Structure 1
């Protein structure tokens, strides 16, 4: 049988070891996907014609295309945040509270669809809107998930994205 001081020491070492492992794991996870999105595209000063603006949403996360559990942690893309979404002729601007804005250039939008889940959120009945886009630096395709607050705004976002995609040539809509 182990004496009390030795038992306390062993349990203390185990506790410290677990905390260290947790810290290193969280640090590594915050940089996951850095090879997919090395830099965030910057919004131009002139966003052009507005298709829809001021859409209240919750930014859920960005994942590797087609793998809704492969959350990208780099640039805060894995952090949920309240957001305002705007669609213009220049692209899609997702203004996130407490995180860097996400700008998706119009030429990089590939498709949009409704989904039930993406890393960090499950919404039954296709309650999420997912925008698939190609990262300018590196060329990877990623999916960005949004939970739109109102049904009317959800319809506005969908119509605006349809208009944006209609302005693109049919060859840029294909996802590799």
Structure 2
């Protein structure tokens, strides 16, 4: 062997000796972190659920929701879409959760002379009598749900001595204006008839 070959072989051996094996993963620590993270997420979820139950307890004075009458009359308007929740009127972040009013769901709305029938598959249905309707308007947000300007139909109604805002979004948002006009016209007619009596 020539000196150059010896030198090359020596360098290769020296370099190979200096290389260290890759660090072995500490599986115990990694599993510990994952378990800790899972427990933290479970704790946060439990606290959120308890907060929701506490809010329902605080709103326990709200009476049961009215059901639809047996004969509500012919439908003036119908709509399918989403129910986004109810809040204290004028306070779009003060969600009402009692009696299932805080549960978001699909919705089928029907407006009749008797009032507004709110059918929610998978959640509690309720009925807003015509005498309890106070206002309808277009808005952009309710209870943590923000949409484009006018993207939400908000109906203000009275229940148990409290004014509530309920937010709906139609599958066809162009219908919202027609609903606002029809509900406000119905409220005005009922108010006029009540004043004449």
TM-score range, shorter chain: 0.7 to 0.9
- Gapped runs of 5+ residues in structure 2? 1-27
Following superposition, the deviation at residue 154 of structure 1 comes to 2.0
- Rounded to whole Å, the distance in 2 between the matches of 1:162 and 1:150 is 20
Instruction: Decide which structure has greater helix share.
Output: 2
3-state DSSP class of the match of 2:94? coil
Structure 2 CA distance for aligned equivalents of residues 150 and 166 of structure 1 = 26
Counting matched residue pairs gives 166
TM-score where L is the length of structure 2: 0.71
Report which structure shows greater RCO (CA 8 Å, sep ≥6): 1
Q: Any unmatched runs of 5+ in structure 1?
A: none
Say whether the 8 Å CA contact 1:31–1:73 is kept in structure 2.
no
Question: Quick one: structure 1 residues 31 and 148, their matched pair in 2 at CA, closer, same or farther if it must change by over 3 Å?
Answer: farther
Contact 1:58 1:83 in 2 (8 A): yes
- Name the counterpart of 2:111: 87
1:51 pairs with one of 73, 76, 81: 76
2:151–2:173: 8 Å Cα contact kept in structure 1?
no
Following superposition, the deviation at residue 65 of structure 1 comes to: 0.9
- Cα distance in 1 for partners of 2:100, 2:191 equals 31
Q: Deviations over 1:17-68 (max 9, x none)?
A: 7634632431331452524633111111111242212x11211000011110
Correspondence 1:23-172 to 2 at 5 A = 23-30=46-53, 32=55, 34-35=59-60, 37-53=62-78, 55-135=79-159, 138-169=160-191
SS in structure 2 at match of 1:168: helix
